[in-house]
Structure 1
């Protein structure tokens, strides 16, 4: 099936971008979005010490559930992918601009 005339072509992602970089971004963003559960689990662990494995099960389960919900959400993946592609594009523009500036002749 041919793409529609004038449709923007989807940027290609390398294996490492799809399987490493974007999932890492997803984890970081999910931790921010689940910060209340991260804080509850951290507090429980600090208060209970060695017994945290037993005493913090509820907090750990809530944290895992929150993180997993984001990590398994295709819309969240797409959101992170779009953000990554924008960062990649901005980086490429900065490099291209820098290379152009280095090639310009200098009047002395």
Structure 2
């Protein structure tokens, strides 16, 4: 199998328009964790009335997430991370989720 360089890597439509944005959403939620937690807490406390009572928290969360979604540098960072993960998979044949699992210590 020949080596694939990052410069030669061509992304498919589904990777650019679906998979990388999915990674961006996951990372944006991590970066906006405080606002995610505030919104979740408000929803749990408000029950049925959360639509009315949690508008402020929802707006703050949306603003934080949208800021990341529209950031071209953030897209590029996520794209590079996606490419690195894909290149690693092509080299090893092991999916990222399996590589990140901890090995048992009692072997």
TM-score over 0.5 for the pair: yes
Q: 2:79 matched to 1:72?
A: no
Gaps of 5+ in 1: 1-7, 96-108
How many residues are paired up? 88
> Structure 1 length as normaliser, TM-score?
0.79
Deviation string, structure 1 residues 35-76 (Cα, Å, up to 9, x no partner)? 000000000000000100000000000000000000010000
Q: CA deviation at 1:11?
A: 1.9
Of 15, 19, 22, the residue aligned with 1:21 is 19
> Structure 2 length as normaliser, TM-score?
0.79
Alignment of 1:36-51 (within 5 A): 36-51=34-49
Where does structure 1 differ by over 3 angstroms across 4 or more consecutive aligned residues? none
Corresponding residue for residue 50 of structure 2: 52
Gaps of 5+ in 2: 1-5, 94-107
Quick one: distance in 1 between partners of 2:68 and 2:13?
A: 21
